[in-house]
Each structure stands twice: as structure tokens, then as C-alpha cells.
Amino acid sequence: MNPENSPTASSNINRKPKIALITGITGQDGSYLTEFLLAKGYEVHGIIRRSSSFNTGRINHLYANPSLHKEGAMKLHYGDLNDSSSLVKIVSSVKPTEIYNLGAMSHVKISFDLSEYTADVDAVGTLRLLDAIRTCGLEKDVRFYQASTSELYGKVQEIPQSETTPFYPRSPYAAAKLYAYWITINYREAYNMFAVNGILFNHESPRRGDNFVTRKITRSVAKVHLKQQEVLELGSLDSKRDWGHARDYIEAMWLMLQHDTPEDFVIATGEAHSVREFVDAAFQEIGKRIIWEGEGINEIGKEEDTGIVRVIVNPKYFRPTEVDLLIGNPKKAEEKLKWKPKTTFKELVKEMVASDIELMRKNPTA
């Protein structure tokens, strides 16, 4: 038999190449997802916003030639979630089989300062991308992942939170994401699109943005360890979050798009820790035990052995409307996707502190 006529050759010819398009590719989740998909043989396309300086630090190592920014299996396109024409052009030319909408103005506190922009990008941006798929006639060919968020639960109506827990958003970010959540479901039901929401609880890593509380803590602890900083200022120490590792969570995103039917899933660890506990765990990584004194805005954290004050509360970091407790129930994902988190809370903190010590040792101004 001629090898070209063999069943294997025929199936290889007919098998569609996997092509992923990622918004937010330069972010924490986008970089981990790109690594993951490239390892699975995908061709990965990412949408990046134009900037006067390179903003691809998290994905530079994925270029075919990082020193020249030469593309290989990862290809980048200029576009924006608030520019529908750019989205239509990119979707039309790339013809992806999977789209991961990770792009967003994703900082909850800052969304109060940029409320209109947050709505335009996070809410209407999702609509623009869904419409781009339909404009290009690809609604039957593309599987669409929408990055939803545990912030949708806000003032929680039950503990823990699952796929059926009522939403009560408490920020412009959460309210914008609520629209994106429902428009994704609407397009799924109205146009029979394979479109899903991943309701991901907090997920961190050494690649987390510098102004998110977990990264702020690990960066400061690293600087304290290297004698580059004295004190860490934080907002609410009592807020509790369900913290996992971004590297684990992006696998869940992918699994949702491989599932037989389009469904929404909560992705979480099922355990919650306070900001105070995160601080304790981070300082333990540099051999320091923190003792807490006082209450509310007067609470401070001291080193047990020296009495040096390392943590103070600054009201400027309080949100206008706080979210006190988020803890997810990932049972559906465990049962239907066979997904479970691999990284423990302690392991997450350990990895982040170690990475930031190395970073600050090389560049104290990073």
C-alpha cells in the first residue's frame, strides 16, 4: 500500500490544525496558557496593544529568537478589545479553532478609578469579540473561552460559591464581568456557539502583576530580606480569598474547550486564606515570624525576634465596597473535567517569594 493512501496518512491530512487566539497573551494567564498550548502542538496567535515600549516580558522566551523578537509558533497581532475592526481583521485572517478571551482591565481597586474604561474593555470588549466570530462566519468552527471571575459573587450569598450561587458584584470590574458572563451565555444559546465561562477564583504566580496584593506582599518580603525595604503597607488584612496557582488554572481553561458540551465551571482550590495569613506565610519563607498587635487601621505586624514593625494598614488601599470572603466549590470541574489543583497554598507562596528574592537581588528597582 502506498503510504500516502494509508488510513493514518489520510487522518493526518484531514485533521484540522489547532489554532488558538488569545487576548491578554502578555499577562500572567496568557503567558502560561501560551506555553501550555505550544507544548501541545498548537499554533498560538496573540492580540497585543500598541505600546511605545515592548510589553512582552512574560512571553519573550517563547519567540523563535527572543533577542530579535522573531516569531515562530507564537505569532502576535496588534489589536484592542475596544476596536471591533481590529478584532474582525484578526479573527478573519487567523481563523482560530479556539479563542481565549483573557484580556481585561483586571485590577479591582483601579476599576473604581477607571470605571468607564473597565466597562468598555471587559464588558463590551467581550461582545465585540463574540460578534467578530459571527461576522467572520466562524460561529460553528470556533470554541470560545470567557475569563469570568470569582469577583462576580462579591457580597457572597452562600459559602462556598458554586456555578449556581447568585451573583452580587461589588466593583465596576465585577459588574463589567457580569455583562461579559451573561452575553457569553446568550450567544451560546442564541447562536448555538461553543462558548463557555471559566469562573476562576484568585490565581497567582511569580508572573502576577506587581500591584496585586499577593505580588505586592512577596516583592516587599523579598526586599525586606535583602535590606532594600523596611515596611509593607496594606489595606484590609481580614479579606479572605481562595488562592491557587495560575499554571494549574490555565489547564482547566483548556479542558473546558475540549469538553463535549459547552458548560460553565468554577475553578478553585476549595480553601480560603486571609491576607494576614498570606503575609505570615511569606515572612516564614525568609525565617521571620510576624506578631500582630492592634485592630482595624491601627493593626501592625512586628518581627517576633526584633520587634521591628514590618506591616502597617493604610486606608488608601481600602476598596469603596469590600469583598470579605471568596471560597469556591470546584466539585463540578473535578467530576466533569477531571481537574484538580496541583499546587498548595504554601507551595505557591514559597515559589513567589523565592522568585522575587532572585528578581530583587538582580535588580533592586524592578
**Domains along the sequence of the chain with CATH:** 17-207+244-271+324-343 (3.40.50.720), 213-236+275-322+354-362 (3.90.25.10)
313-326 residue pLDDT tens: 999 999 888 899 99
Q: Any bridge partners for residue 328, and if so which?
A: 161
Cα angle: 176, vertex 104, 87; to 5 degrees = 105
CB atoms within 10 A of CB 38: 16
The SS3 of residue 316 is: helix
**pLDDT class for 10, splitting at 50, 70, 90?**
very low
**What was the pLDDT predicted at 71?**
82
Distance CA 136, CA 159 (A): 42
Question: Residues, the chain, total?
Answer: 366
284-304 residue pLDDT tens: 999 999 999 999 999 999 999
Whether residue 112 contacts residue 172, with contact meaning beta carbons closer than 8 Å, is answered with yes
**pLDDT class for 9, splitting at 50, 70, 90?**
very low
210-250 residue pLDDT tens: 999 999 999 999 999 999 999 999 999 999 999 999 999 99
**Which whole-number Å values give the CA distances from 279 to 47, 185, 274, 328, 353, in the listed order?**
35, 38, 9, 21, 11
Q: Any bridge partners for residue 293, and if so which?
A: 300
pLDDT over 80 at 365, yes or no? yes
| Whether this model's pTM surpasses 0.85 | yes
Distance CA 297, CA 276 (A): 13
Three-state secondary structure string covering 251-300: HHHHHHHHCCCCCCEEECCCCCEEHHHHHHHHHHCCCCCEEEECCHHHCE
**What was the pLDDT predicted at 308?**
97
Give the side-chain half-sphere CA count within 13 A for 296.
1
Percent of residues, the chain, with pLDDT higher than 90: 87
pLDDT over 90 at 361, yes or no? yes
Whether residue 161 contacts residue 93, with contact meaning beta carbons closer than 8 Å, is answered with no
Active site residues: 149, 151, 173
Three-state secondary structure string covering 54-108: CCCCCCHHHCCEHHHCECCCEEEEECCCCCHHHHHHHHHHHCCCEEEECCCCCCH
C-alpha grid cell for residue 226?
535583602
**What was the pLDDT predicted at 336?**
98
**Which whole-number Å values give the CA distances from 1 to 8, 12, 65, 195, in the listed order?**
12, 17, 41, 43
Burial (CB count within 10 angstroms: exposed 0-12, middle 13-18, buried 19+), residue 61: exposed
pLDDT over 60 at 32, yes or no? yes
Whether residue 75 contacts residue 42, with contact meaning beta carbons closer than 8 Å, is answered with no
Query: H or E element: which one contains 366?
Result: none
Q: Kindly report the average pLDDT of the chain as a whole number.
A: 94
66-115 residue pLDDT tens: 776 778 889 999 999 999 999 999 999 999 999 999 999 999 999 999 99
Could you tell me which of 201, 203, 202, 205 has the C-alpha nearest to residue 352? 205
CB atoms within 10 A of CB 35: 18
**pLDDT class for 57, splitting at 50, 70, 90?**
confident
**What was the pLDDT predicted at 303?**
97
Whether residue 220 contacts residue 226, with contact meaning beta carbons closer than 8 Å, is answered with no
Which residue in the block uniquely carries the three cell numbers 478589545? 81
Query: H or E element: which one contains 343?
Result: none
Q: Which of 54-68, 150-164, 313-327 has the lowest mean pLDDT?
A: 54-68
**Which whole-number Å values give the CA distances from 158 to 149, 200, 332, in the listed order?**
16, 17, 17
**What was the pLDDT predicted at 157?**
95
**What was the pLDDT predicted at 247?**
98
Distance CA 183, CA 88 (A): 18
**What was the pLDDT predicted at 11?**
45
**pLDDT class for 2, splitting at 50, 70, 90?**
low
**What was the pLDDT predicted at 5?**
52
Whether residue 289 contacts residue 300, with contact meaning beta carbons closer than 8 Å, is answered with no
pLDDT over 90 at 12, yes or no? no
173-186 residue pLDDT tens: 999 999 999 999 99
